[in-house]
Structure 1
Amino acid sequence: MIASRLAFACGCLALTGATTLPKKGEPEITAQTARSGGVIDPDQAKLGFDAADLSFEVLPETETLRGVATLSFTAKAPLDRLAIDLDRNLPVDAIAIDGAALAPAAWSNPEGRLVITLPQRVAKGGHVTARITYGGQPHVAVKAPWDSGMVWATTPGGAPWFATTAEGYGCDLFWPCLDFPTGEPGVVTLHITVPKGLKAPSNGKLLGVDTLPDGRTVWNWRIKHPNTYGIALNVGPYEEISGVYKSRYGNSIPMFYWFLPGEEDKARALFAEFAPTLDFFESEVGPYPFGDEKVGVVETPHKGMEHQTINAYGNDYAKAPEGFDWLFQHEFAHEYFGNQLTAANWDDYWLHEGYGTYMQPLYGRWREGEARYATMLSDERNKIANLRPIISGKVRTEEEVYEVDKGGPGQDIYYKGAWMLHTLRTLIGDRAFRDVTRLAVYGRTDPRPGNFAPRYGSSAEYQRFVRRVTGKDYGWFFDVYLREAALPDLIETRSATRLALRWQVPGGRVFPMPVEVQIDGRIVTLPMAGGVGSLPVPKRAHVVIDPKAKLLRRSVAIEQYQAWRDAQARRPRPAN
């Protein structure tokens, strides 16, 4: 394998296409390439993706990518052809099936799905390996990471610095893959050739670095069960900080941070957050899922992304009143909620982003107590839009979830998802919430290093886990918070001697959410059976509903604030 990698790295690959440097948003991609997830193509549904061996060389002077991908599949049904996602801006030069070269007429890729006619049928249970040689100019991100593609930059010292990000449009921007959440390969081996003086930190475990005669280096990595959009190229003149975390589960976990020259003091301050953050997650959720590989973070010329074991960090070492870097913490949360637990359908991506967002205030609570927790949650509450239900019950693409103008819930999968989890935790209790979370993440409540593997999850499964742990059916809870856009509204009626409360929810459903009421400093709980409840109150008593802000519910004050805020943002600014 070393010999073949070095032959590739020496440039023995014909590059197809022009070398004019693309602008941001170019080269233009097809609708097929822009589409990530959704209903799975019938031909792709027949493929079990066993392994990928990926060789990359990215040439910054021409902003081009050369690649050789060796993909191994097991047939779930008889196969006559392979359908593999790959941006047509990366034209294919050669394909071999099980070592035998194909004629160019055996494949086509007009719209971003490479279809390869196999020389012979593969029976169910059979194996097939495709070696695809390709290259071109990858799509350049406009506003990474919210927009996908290559991010070209230079360091303050003028050195090349570039990275990939692919959550939105998917893995097919850079390598031939199955671009849907359940298309994860069992194992990926990476060989990344970089110019002299640059480094290429990437996913998984470092197998070694080969030095070529001209000074270029080949960085070899291996990762198990990577998220489809989690394979990442990060290249720059990096410096490295490393250490070892002694886990509360008995194992030792290597930690690495790759940063730009001249930032060592700031880099060491961020690296000092790694171990406490790990300890929080291991105490509140469970063992770090990839302890036999690494905790990896790399500074990137874009804001950030949860690239498995090599999270992108571009927060410029910002300081915050909560005393920790929210972006580092959020992307690290995705190692659990996104990389270990992967939603099988983009429709359920609140499991990634809702949990990932909830981990910031929960970490604030773990560090400083309830005041910090409440402060951070209050900030998140003001960002909930309630324009669409969080889930649709359909198989959706990434854009159909993340983009409001395409009918998606947009940022509500973050903030409304987080607040729903906050309300659920206060409803069922910390212990039950922890057990539900562990079932979702690990598939078991007693996770230990070595007794679990990455898994796929769904909203329906999560709801079943809540019922399994609590012994109660909380369908009424999820029907409103996940499947309706509007929040439950708590209607208050007070007479001279009595307070009556009634939940009003979409569709007139029964919503038996208990409500705490504070009466002159004394807190009582109304069970709200049937969605209604009442209690006597003295005539001049001071009453506070939900005094500890446990409930995600409609707030007229927040609606008025959001309308004012949005109007202010639209106002023209006076000229200086």
Structure 2
Amino acid sequence: MRLIPLAAALLLAMPAAAQEASPAPAPRVSTPFTLRSEQPLAPEQQAVAFDYARLAFRVMPESRTLAGDATLVFTAAAPVDRLSVELDTVFDISRVEIDGQAIAPSAWRNPEGRLTVDLPSPLPAGGTATLRILYAGAPRTAPNAPWDSGFVWATAPSGEPWIATAVQGEGCDLFWPCIDHPSGEPELVELHITVPTGLAAPANGVLLATEDHGDGWTTWRWRARRPNTYAIALNIGPYERVADTYVSRFGNSFPMEFWHLRSDDPAKVAALFAQFAPMLDFFEATVGPYPFGDEKMGVVETPHLGMEHQTINAYGNRYRIDGRGYDWLLHHELAHEWFGNQMTNVSGDDMWLHEGLGTYMQPLYARWLHGDRYMEAELKEHRELLANRFPVVSGRADVNYFDGDGPGNDIYYKGSLFAHTLRMLIGDEAFKDSLTRLIYGTAEPRAGEIEPLTRTTEDYVRIVNEVTGRDYGWLFQGYLYNAALPILRQRREGRTLELAWETGDGRPFPLPVEVEVDGRVITVPMTGGRGSLSVPEGAHVLIDPENKVLRQSDVVDELVAYQRSGR
């Protein structure tokens, strides 16, 4: 999903590892339709299954252009008389075919970026149609990858072209004809990427072959199953590959691959690659089997910061050491193989399932490696970055989380802190069980028998309730469906301490609270959102001594106000 924005706070001064190539002529401008991902599906898109995509690209670094040849196979679930896919209007379409027959230009149109093709004859339910599109042009250059999407045209330190795509925010249609929606995953994709000979093109899935055509061009062929639409990625550069085999705790094994620049320091490459296996072991122990063990766990170095491109995650953290004891970017993008690529949100309103749960894996990994102090340090960072302006879950399927009324970075940090509160409330065993069921649809996933699935927030509420045997809908409601954090009111009179929860919507919030009285911890049941306990006069009282509960904090509010004041 779009990269964890904590990088913006931690890495404000980021030295350039690549020099940008000389400016190219101004390309055509993408339409507003294209630049908004996850548009409502057209009726004909809802009526078909996306079976297969063969995507052939020729990438021309000198002109910063792309020639594409896309063959897409659909099966109709209901009768349709046309097919629709999204494709940026910056491309010139030279030919459209249905089942091998050219379609007259009058039978297709692409005014805003939704290419609609009239079928020669209606396709009945169960029927299959093959749509082929030939197109070429200058794809959108990313203004600020990975946050603003498109192609990144750069030059490696050794002088060769260094190119990447990052299209999560604005969508797959920036460079290939797709159904730009979480439900638009093709069952199988073959990538044929033709690049100047001497450059490598690592991509999603399994490498089938490379073919040097003897004319200065080489084609790299890859095959991937069920990739997220925005996770299909082009990566082109002077790469070398370091690889090993990971032996899983679930009895299977698969390749680990790191495609890095040839100019990189071998010691830094080796140190980063040494982190792959421990991270995989953590995720398999905490969530379940690596979902793509029939392909690979892959990472490629990119001229932008990073992105969770299924089985070929983009890595641009430049081997930085920040005192965490692990590379946070490598870990975050790997988390998305579970939270995003295996389990995909139904709509943008459920994006916190990717980003919040994925972000929470980092404090858990810090604890796995170094203990509670390191976990708490990361959670403190998350707490100080909350905005609390808009709900994490709004109830609107068309929400864009970085729009003016979207939750923004709260999908990362509030989602993470909510997950911590949930784990503290229901316990480690139930929390792990809930994640496993959310990700795989079963409590006992088996390597080699894993199918990607889609989820909503309501799905996770249901799963938590099933695992615990209790209704925790109020917890999700209080944290995720309200912009403001719950406030814990406290009043102490004589020997009585009274506590009361106050939520943004005023609904009951019976979250128990731990209170430390002169070093002794007491759990206060907050039936109906209220509770009380007797404390000796003069006793030292500390609310929530282990910071298990996410709530409004005067200390954090004061810090945020101070920072915003410019002082």
What is the TM-score of this pair, normalised by structure 2?
Answer: 0.95
Measured in 2, the distance between the counterparts of 1:27 and 1:92 equals 14
Matches within 5 A, 1:11-90: 21-22=24-25, 26-90=27-91
Measured in 2, the distance between the counterparts of 1:464 and 1:354 equals 18
Measured in 1, the distance between the counterparts of 2:330 and 2:509 equals 37
Measured in 2, the distance between the counterparts of 1:300 and 1:506 equals 42
2:87·2:115 contact (CA, 8 Å) conserved in 1? yes
Partner of 1:16: none
Q: How many residues were matched structurally?
A: 544
Measured in 1, the distance between the counterparts of 2:25 and 2:534 equals 71
Deviation at 1:22? 4.0
Measured in 2, the distance between the counterparts of 1:262 and 1:518 equals 56
Deviation at 1:262? 2.3
Q: Does 1:402 align with 2:398?
A: no
Matches within 5 A, 1:483-494: 483-494=481-492
Deviation at 1:39? 2.3
Deviation at 1:43? 2.0
2:391·2:407 contact (CA, 8 Å) conserved in 1? yes
Identify which of 510, 515, 518 aligns with 1:517. Answer: 515
Measured in 2, the distance between the counterparts of 1:567 and 1:186 equals 51
Partner of 2:137: 136
1:492·1:499 contact (CA, 8 Å) conserved in 2? yes
Measured in 2, the distance between the counterparts of 1:422 and 1:40 equals 35
Matches within 5 A, 1:49-448: 49-263=50-264, 264-397=266-399, 400-403=400-403, 405=404, 407-448=405-446
Identify which of 501, 506, 509 aligns with 1:508. Answer: 506
Q: SS of the counterpart of 2:192?
A: strand
Matches within 5 A, 1:565-576: 565-568=563-566
2:197·2:212 contact (CA, 8 Å) conserved in 1? no
Measured in 2, the distance between the counterparts of 1:476 and 1:108 equals 48
Q: SS of the counterpart of 2:183?
A: coil
Measured in 1, the distance between the counterparts of 2:259 and 2:513 equals 48
2:38·2:398 contact (CA, 8 Å) conserved in 1? yes
The one-letter code of the counterpart of 1:244 is T
Q: SS of the counterpart of 1:217?
A: strand
The one-letter code of the counterpart of 2:149 is S
Measured in 1, the distance between the counterparts of 2:459 and 2:241 equals 41
Measured in 1, the distance between the counterparts of 2:386 and 2:36 equals 26
Measured in 2, the distance between the counterparts of 1:388 and 1:42 equals 31
Deviation at 1:542? 0.8
1:343·1:457 contact (CA, 8 Å) conserved in 2? yes
1:88·1:109 contact (CA, 8 Å) conserved in 2? yes
Q: Percent identity?
A: 54
Deviation at 1:110? 1.2
The one-letter code of the counterpart of 1:238 is Y
Deviation at 1:61? 0.5
1:257·1:271 contact (CA, 8 Å) conserved in 2? yes
Deviation at 1:251? 0.6
Q: Which moved more, 1:60-69 or 1:91-100?
A: 91-100
Deviation at 1:219? 0.5
Q: Which runs of 4+ in 1 moved over 6 A?
A: none
Measured in 1, the distance between the counterparts of 2:372 and 2:39 equals 40
2:498·2:533 contact (CA, 8 Å) conserved in 1? yes
2:158·2:263 contact (CA, 8 Å) conserved in 1? no
Deviation at 1:449? 0.5
Deviation at 1:21? 2.5
Q: SS of the counterpart of 2:262?
A: coil
2:233·2:309 contact (CA, 8 Å) conserved in 1? yes
Measured in 1, the distance between the counterparts of 2:39 and 2:109 equals 22
Deviation at 1:155? 0.6
Deviation at 1:89? 0.7
Measured in 2, the distance between the counterparts of 1:238 and 1:89 equals 29
Q: SS of the counterpart of 1:389?
A: coil
Q: Does 1:554 align with 2:552?
A: yes
Identify which of 534, 537, 541 aligns with 1:536. Answer: 534
Per-residue deviation, residues 393-425 of structure 1 (Å, max 9, x unmatched): 12115xx2123x2x1000000000000000000
Deviation at 1:27? 3.1
Measured in 2, the distance between the counterparts of 1:436 and 1:533 equals 29
The one-letter code of the counterpart of 1:365 is R
2:202·2:259 contact (CA, 8 Å) conserved in 1? yes
Deviation at 1:451? 2.5
Measured in 2, the distance between the counterparts of 1:508 and 1:234 equals 50
Measured in 1, the distance between the counterparts of 2:133 and 2:42 equals 20
Measured in 2, the distance between the counterparts of 1:177 and 1:274 equals 32
CA RMSD of aligned residues (A): 1.1
Per-residue deviation, residues 129-154 of structure 1 (Å, max 9, x unmatched): 01111110000000000000000000
Partner of 1:6: none
Q: SS of the counterpart of 1:530?
A: helix
2:39·2:180 contact (CA, 8 Å) conserved in 1? no
Structure 2 runs not aligned, ≥5 long? 1-22
The one-letter code of the counterpart of 2:350 is D
Measured in 2, the distance between the counterparts of 1:508 and 1:460 equals 21
Measured in 2, the distance between the counterparts of 1:437 and 1:246 equals 23
Q: Which moved more, 1:164-173 or 1:41-50?
A: 41-50
Measured in 2, the distance between the counterparts of 1:523 and 1:441 equals 35
Structure 1 runs not aligned, ≥5 long? 1-19, 572-576
Deviation at 1:79? 1.2
Deviation at 1:452? 2.2
Q: SS of the counterpart of 1:401?
A: coil
Per-residue deviation, residues 345-379 of structure 1 (Å, max 9, x unmatched): 11100000001110110100111111111111111
Per-residue deviation, residues 417-474 of structure 1 (Å, max 9, x unmatched): 0000000000000000001101110001101112320000000110000111011111
Measured in 1, the distance between the counterparts of 2:431 and 2:28 equals 46
1:76·1:124 contact (CA, 8 Å) conserved in 2? yes
Q: SS of the counterpart of 1:439?
A: helix
Q: SS of the counterpart of 1:508?
A: coil
